[in-house]
Structure 1
Amino acid sequence: MTMTPEQATWFSGIFNRLVANVDQVLLGKTFVIRLGFTALLSDGHLLLEDFPGTGKTSFARAISQSVAGSSSRIQFTPDLLPGDITGVSIYNQVVSDFEFHRGPIFANIVLADEINRASPKTQSALLEVMEEGHVTVDGVTHPVGAPFMVIATQNPIEQAGTYRLPEAQLDRFIMKASIGYPDHASTLRILEGAGVKAHETTVPAIVTAEVVAEMSQLARMVHVDPTINDYVGRLVESTRTVPEVRLGASVRGALALIRTAKTLAAASGRHYVIPDDVKALAEPVLAHRLVIDPEAEFDGVTAPSIMSQILMETPPPSERQSV
């Protein structure tokens, strides 16, 4: 079943209201906000690589408030244990049995702050829940509910005492983005509200969790022309043939690009995907999945620059079949 034009209009209206709502907190960052909600409605997770103080925590909190959901924040440190994230089973002497005490991962929006500061063992505690939406403790599976989204952050400057995320975990994030510093006009607006602390700023709820789940289902129904699938396939295959790349994008990356393109199309009021949807998301979705050759990286070659070159060299489809 394919999304109808009326459903696309309804989807776009709510999506734009959500973006405008968070824009009250994260001033001048509309594109990043759109990426965040695109990841949420694509049932994915977002990795933010940014400097301290750019509004990452406020961003995550505003998204959870907009969808009337719960939020939690996990500060990743070298001594953090997997049980500190997922929860632990504690023996209850009254009932003579173990009881599961839920960890902070049981929330709609989870901010994993400075994720690369924790050990690989602790980082791996997120692999199952990010892929399957549940955690398994002592052989018992506990679903985290829906909607569920992990917004992880890492500092691109300071590397001392950090553990680089393995490729398998980077692949779990549907996209990677950067908030960056605000422009001058936005900075002035922020300074005008300097009397209000960041954690005191709230935004009203726009939709319920049930509506978010419905929108996620609708996004999957957006029509994708075979020529678009071919375009995405050619883009992904091109990442594997670039001499400077040791490991190209996976099939999971191709699927992620299609899923997010569907959501972005619906957010634009269309019930079908166009090449511009793919182009807009190719770098956020695919760049972090590339492993650059160390020598090329030393020479200043970056994954985003490679993706830009691939987009220029890969011609998009010129026409599509009727929807």
Structure 2
Amino acid sequence: MDGREFLEKLENEMSKAVVGKREVIELLAVALLSNGHVLLEGVPGIAKTTIAKNFANTLGLKFSRIQLTPDLMPADIIGGIFFDQKSGEFKIRKGPIFANVVLADEINRAQPKTQSALLEAMQEGQVTIEGVSFKLPQPFLVIATKNPIEHEGVYELPEAQLDRFMLKINVEYPSREEEILMLKRKHLGDFSEARMIFTSQVLLKMMDEAKKVHVSDEILHYIYEIVAKTRVSEKLVYGASPRVAEHLLYASKALAFLRGRRYVIPDDVKEMAVPVLMHRIKVKAEYELDGVKPEHVIREVLEEVEVPKG
């Protein structure tokens, strides 16, 4: 089975539970194959939780949902120590972070130290409870959701923490046809949860094959030029870091694999540039007032950087 067949089967199975959203599903697959994490941004009620849960179901992965609130403490996520009265001993209680796919719902509602505990687990792939380190399950994917319209009672993620997310995906309202189809299927009771169609061995093989996708020197230079161009843009406070270039490389390889190719082409890099870069650059205030958004600057950069030939 190649990457294209893998993605097609994944999308078809998830269509039992979700209408449309194929681009979101593809980007989640890119993140998983690249060992990255995802920030999903969108208003409530557009199936973010449904997508995450059924994505895990289809791949046979353990799913965990954490509803982040201002009173949530780090131990509520990573776990802690407790006294077992039966055995008369202190024991470790592992928290909900110990899953393959972790949905961190409304991450901007958690206080900074709780956000940091979650983001540290993402970065290190392990957590420390009472001085003892525990490896997290592999593969490990955090899908954090963020409501863009709420500004009261929230703690915005600092730029250094946003940088831990490989991709930012804006989940839009469904099209007219998709929403009518959703209503019809709800009326008929035509929705069901996606079932497991891949084994862990298949998934690990897909991840390994995605790593083997060839990248030419010309593509490596192209990735560098895109990232470097953001660092000198007059519209930005700061540009993208070397970690962004690394993530753009991995995401482009995964996308090429899911499109059925064993090599990366410039279009792969172009397609991944916005979700990889848009949450890691900051537009200057005077340009923001004129309606300039990060994705606008990224598309300008893509127009300016010469595309490799051949």
The normalised TM-score by structure 1 is 0.92
Query: What corresponds to 1:246 in structure 2?
Result: 237
- CA displacement 1:25-49 (0-9 Å, x = unmatched): 3322211111111111111111011
Which stretches of structure 1, 4 residues or more, deviate above 6 A after TM superposition?
none
For 1:259, the aligned partner's letter is: Y
- CA displacement 1:163-220 (0-9 Å, x = unmatched): 111111111111001121111111111111225889x830121212232222112111
Query: What corresponds to 1:81 in structure 2?
Result: 73
Return the match for 1:69 from 24, 45, 61: 61
CA distance in 1, matches of 2:162, 2:199: 29
CA distance in 2, matches of 1:298, 1:121: 32
Shift of 1:107: 1.1
Q: Does 1:177 align with 2:175?
A: no
CA distance in 1, matches of 2:200, 2:60: 6
Shift of 1:20: 2.2
CA distance in 2, matches of 1:247, 1:62: 37
Query: What corresponds to 1:209 in structure 2?
Result: 200
Return the match for 2:118 from 126, 131, 144: 126
For 2:106, the aligned partner's letter is: E
For 1:10, the aligned partner's letter is: D
Query: What corresponds to 2:52 in structure 1?
Result: 60
Contact 1:147–1:212 (Cα < 8 Å) also in 2? no
The normalised TM-score by structure 2 is 0.95
**Residues paired across the two proteins, number:** 310
Percent of residue pairs bearing the same amino acid type: 44
What SS does the aligned partner of 2:168 have? strand
Contact 2:248–2:272 (Cα < 8 Å) also in 1? yes
Taking a change above 3 Å as real, the CA distance of residues 196 and 293 of structure 1, as seen in their structure-2 partners, is: farther
What SS does the aligned partner of 1:194 have? helix
- CA displacement 1:34-90 (0-9 Å, x = unmatched): 111111111111101100000000000110111011111111111111111111111
- CA displacement 1:287-320 (0-9 Å, x = unmatched): 111122223223322101111111111111012x
CA distance in 2, matches of 1:20, 1:121: 39
Describe how 1:1-323 pairs up with structure 2 within 5 A.
10-195=2-187, 201-319=192-310
CA distance in 1, matches of 2:179, 2:136: 37
Q: CA RMSD in A?
A: 1.7
**Unmatched segments (≥5 aa) in structure 1:** 1-8
CA distance in 2, matches of 1:195, 1:141: 49
For 2:198, the aligned partner's letter is: V
CA distance in 1, matches of 2:44, 2:188: 19
CA distance in 2, matches of 1:235, 1:42: 20
CA distance in 2, matches of 1:211, 1:274: 25
CA distance in 2, matches of 1:121, 1:294: 28
CA distance in 2, matches of 1:48, 1:197: 27
Contact 1:19–1:37 (Cα < 8 Å) also in 2? no
CA distance in 1, matches of 2:295, 2:308: 22
Contact 2:66–2:96 (Cα < 8 Å) also in 1? yes
CA distance in 2, matches of 1:229, 1:62: 35
Query: What corresponds to 1:4 in structure 2?
Result: none
**Unmatched segments (≥5 aa) in structure 2:** none
Shift of 1:129: 1.5
Contact 1:11–1:266 (Cα < 8 Å) also in 2? yes
Shift of 1:97: 3.5
